A and B are shown apart, each in its own frame.
Chain A
Amino acid sequence: MIIRGDEPEQIGLLKRLYPKGNYFMQGDEAIAYGALFAGCRFYAGYPITPASEIAETMARELPKLKGYYIQMEDEIGSIAAVVGASWTGLKSMTATSGPGFSLMQENLGYAVFTETPLVLVDVQRSGPSTGQATKGAQGDFFQARWGTHGDHPIIAVSPTSVEDSFWETIRAFNLSEKFRIPVILLADGIIGHTREQIRIPDPEEVEIVYRKLPANEEEAKYPFGDVHGDLIPPMPLFGNGYFTHVTGSTHKENGLRDVYTPEVHDRLVRRLHKKIEAHEKEIQKWEEYYTDDAEILLVSWGVSARPSLGAVIEARKKGIRAGLIVPKTVHPFPGKRIKELSKKAHTILVPEMNLGQMILEVQRFIREEVPVIGVNKIGGVPLTVEEILKEIESSAERSRHRSAD
C-alpha cells in the first residue's frame, strides 16, 4: 500500500507542472508549492488574511495533482477534516492566521493525542483579537507551544524568507510524517505577502518522508504502542480492515479508552514527550552567522531574522563582534546551543515582532550573568536593520564602560 502523493507519476506531474527554475512569488504561494512537493494531497481551510493565498493556490493546483481542496464552514471544521483525511492516508494541511489558529486549538490537541500527522500553517498577524488584520506579527510563539490544553509536546518551524517558506513547509511535512505529530508552520504576514525570487527544484532533489505503516496485522493491533522501540507507533490507516479505534480520550496501546488508570495516562503522555525529546537532534534546526567569536549574540526568528542579519553585518563593519543564531525549529527550542554560545557573549539581544516571547525561552536556557535584552516592535511594521544596529551599538558601548570600571 502507498500513502497518496507517493505515486510514481507524481514526480513526472510535478516536473511538468512546475518545471525547475526561478519563480517570482509570495511567501504564501511558496508554502503551497512546498506542500505540493512534500506530497500534500488534502487541504481544508477557511479564508483569513494574510493566509488566504495559500488556500487559493491549493484550490487551483491540488486538482492538477489529483488532490482534494475543501473550503469548510470554519477553522474548527477545517482542522477536523484534516485529521479525518490524514487517517485515510492523505498527507493533509490547513492554513490560517491568528483568530483561526485560536479556533483550531482544541482539535490540534486532538491531533497531538491521537498522533495524527498534519501540517497547520499559522501566518501570524497582529493581535490580540482581530487586531490589525492585514499586518504581520510574531505574537503566536507561545500559542503554538501551549495553545491547546494539557501536557503535550509539539513541533513548530518558522521560515525566514519566501524560498525558505518552500523548504520549511517540506520539512514540516517530513517531521510530521516521521514522528506522527501535527507540525505547526509559524509563518508571518510580512513574508507571506512579500514577493521574492525562489528556485523551484527538481522533485528528485527533495527528500520526502512517508509515515510508517504497520508491517502486519499484529502491529496494526497497537496503533498507539511502541512496537519498534523507537517510541513511534506505526499508523494503521482507516479502510484497511484493521478495525482501528481512535479516540481523544486517554487510551491504551490498542486504542481503547481507559481514563481511570493513572498509569495508562502517565505512560501515554510521557511516551509522547519522549518521542520528541529522544529525536530532538533530528527535529531541531538552526542557522548561525558569525557566532565563532560573537560577544554580542543575537537570537532571532522568522521575519525578524533578516534585519537581524543585516544589523550583524553592519556591526561587523564597525568592528563590533556580533553574531546571530536563528532557530528554524522554534519548538522544541534549541536552547542548549544558545547556552553554549552565550558563554562567549557579554550580551544577548532578541529581536522579534512582539513584546517579548521567544526571549523567555532564551532566558530559560542561559546563565544569569549575561543580560538578555529584547528588541521589540509591534504595530505591524517589521524591525529595521538600523533599529537593531542601534541596540547592538549601545550594548557594545555599555560593555566598554563596564570593562573600563
Chain B
Amino acid sequence: MAKQIYTKYEMAKYLRKEALPTALCPGCGGGTVLNAFANAIDQLKIDPRDLVVVSGIGCSAWIASPYFLADTLHTTHGRAIAFATGVKVGLPDKKVVVISGDGDLAGIGGNHLIHAARRNIDITVILVNNFIYGMTGGQVAPTTPFGAITTTTPYRNIEHPLKIAETVASAGASYVARWTTFHVYQLIESIKKALTVKGFSLVEVVSQCPVQFGRRNRMKTPAEMLRWFSKNSIPISKAKNMSPEELEGKIIIGEFVSREKPEFTEELNKLIDEVAQYHSLGGEDAD
C-alpha cells in the first residue's frame, strides 16, 4: 500500500514534498520541532528564499534538511555550525539556521558550539536534546541523565550530563532559551525571538525519543515522555531560588540570556570597509 502523504496542513507549503514522508519514527519529537520552526518562519513572514538551513548527522539533523524547503546544507557529523559560519560570512543578509541533535552539536561538535557563541556570529541554532544518540541505536550521549540506561550504559550511566543552554550562555551567546516539546507555544515564540536577535542564538529543545531512550527508561510511549517533561520542568525564575539538590533531574526551562553585543559578521564587514577605505585613500603609500 502506498504511503499517504498529507499536504493539506498549511505549514506543509514549507516542506520539500518529494522528500516526504519523513524518516522520523512515529511519536518522535522531531516532528514537533519541525512544526514549531515552520510556524515561527510563517509568523515572522520570512521568505524561505532568505533562509539557509544547515545540519549535521543524526535523526534531529533530518528535521529541516532535507524536509524544509530552503537552501539546505547537510554536513558531516558535528560540524554544522562551522559550515554555517562560512555560509553566514558569505551571505550576511540571510537567516542562517542550524538544526541538529545534542550528540551532533554538543558532543562531537561541542568545540564549534562554544566558539560560535563566543564569536557571537548571527546564526540561530535549534538544538534537539533527546538525551541519546538516536540514529546510531541509542548509545549514551553527553546529555544522558545520570543513572539512565542506554545501549552502551546497560548497567547505568555514571557520567554527568552537560548543561547545554547554561554552557552556551556563559560562552557569550546573544540569546539562549530552553523548552521541551511539551511547551510548543513558548518554543515557537523563542524560535521567533532567536531568529530576530542579532548574534548567536540557541534554542535547546528537550525532545522525546521514545524508541531509543524512552523504551529503555520506563517511558515506552511518546505521551509518557511528554508527561515526564511537563512534570519535571521548572521555569528559570523559580529555579533561581532552588538548591542544586532540589534541581537534580529537573529540566530548567525559559530564557537564559537575551542581550545585545557586537555581532561577528557586522564587525567583520565594518573592519573590511575601514581597511578598504584606508587603502582606497592611498594609505598604503603614506607609510
Contact = CB atoms under 8 A, between A and B. Distances in A.
Interface of A: 13, 16-17, 42, 44, 63-68, 70, 72-74, 76-78, 80-90, 92, 106-107, 110, 238-239, 241-249, 254, 256-257
B167 interface: no
Contacts of B69: 243
A70 B89 contact: yes
B19 A256 contact: yes
Given A245-B74, A246-B73, A248-B75, A77 B111 contact: yes
Contacts of B245: none
Contact of B87 (A65, A238, A254): A238
Interface stretch (B131-139, B154-162, B271-279): B271-279
B79 A80 contact: yes
A248 B76 contact: yes
B71 A84 contact: no
B115 interface: yes
A84 B72 contact: no
> Which of B18, B19, B70, B90 lies at the interface centre, i.e. has the most chain A CB atoms within 10 A of its CB?
B90
A78 B82 CA distance: 7
Contact of A107 (B18, B76, B271, B276): B76
Interface class of chain B by DSSP: helix
Contacts of B220: none
Given A77-B79, A245-B65, 13 more contacts: A16-B279, A72-B115, A74-B111, A76-B82, A82-B86, A83-B75, A84-B84, A87-B73, A87-B86, A88-B91, A245-B66, A245-B71, A246-B73
Contacts of B111: 73-74, 77
Contacts of B272: 63, 66-68
Contacts of A68: 89-90, 268, 272
Given A85-B89, A85-B90, A244-B72, A256 B66 contact: yes
B276 A83 contact: no
22 contacts: A42-B86, A42-B90, A44-B85, A63-B272, A64-B276, A70-B268, A72-B85, A73-B111, A80-B85, A84-B54, A85-B90, A88-B89, A107-B75, A238-B71, A238-B94, A239-B94, A243-B48, A243-B71, A243-B72, A245-B16, A245-B71, A257-B74
Contacts of A84: 54, 73, 82-90
A113 B71 CA distance: 18
Contact of B82 (A63, A80, A244): A80
A402 to B, nearest CB: 54
Contacts of B82: 72-73, 76-78, 80-81, 84
B52 interface: yes
B216 interface: no
A149 to B, nearest CB: 12
B112 interface: yes
Contacts of A85: 86-87, 89-90
Given A84-B90, A88-B90, A242 B71 contact: yes
Given A74-B111, A243-B70, A257-B66, A86 B86 contact: yes
A247 B54 CA distance: 10
Contacts, number: 144
Nearest to A41: B90
Interface of B: 16, 18-19, 48-49, 52, 54, 65-66, 69-76, 79, 82-91, 94, 111-112, 115, 268, 271-272, 275-276, 279, 284
Nearest to A248: B76
A17 B279 contact: yes
> Which of A42, A72, A238, A241 lies at the interface centre, i.e. has the most chain B CB atoms within 10 A of its CB?
A238
A78 B83 CA distance: 9
Contacts of A249: 74
A110 B284 CA distance: 40
A327 B272 CA distance: 39
A68 B265 CA distance: 10
A78 B84 CA distance: 11
Given A88-B87, A244-B72, A245-B74, A77 B112 contact: yes
A80 B85 CA distance: 8
Nearest to B79: A80
A87 B87 contact: yes
Contact of B85 (A13, A74, A77, A247): A77
A13 B277 CA distance: 12
Nearest to B62: A257
Contact of B71 (A80, A83, A239): A239
Contacts of B284: 16-17
Contacts of B90: 42, 68, 84-85, 87-90, 238-239
Given A17-B279, A64-B275, A80 B86 contact: yes
Contacts of B86: 42, 44, 80-88, 92
A302 to B, nearest CB: 29
A300 B285 CA distance: 43
Contacts of A245: 16, 65-66, 71-72, 74
A81 B88 CA distance: 9
B135 to A, nearest CB: 12
A92 B86 CA distance: 10
Contacts of A67: 272
Among all A-B residue pairs, the 4 with the closest Cβ atoms: A88-B90, A84-B86, A80-B82, A85-B86
Given A66-B272, A84-B73, A76 B79 contact: yes
A42 B265 CA distance: 13
A359 B148 CA distance: 55
Contacts of A17: 279, 284
A248 B65 CA distance: 12
B71 to A, nearest CB: 4
Contacts of A78: 82
A81 B80 CA distance: 9
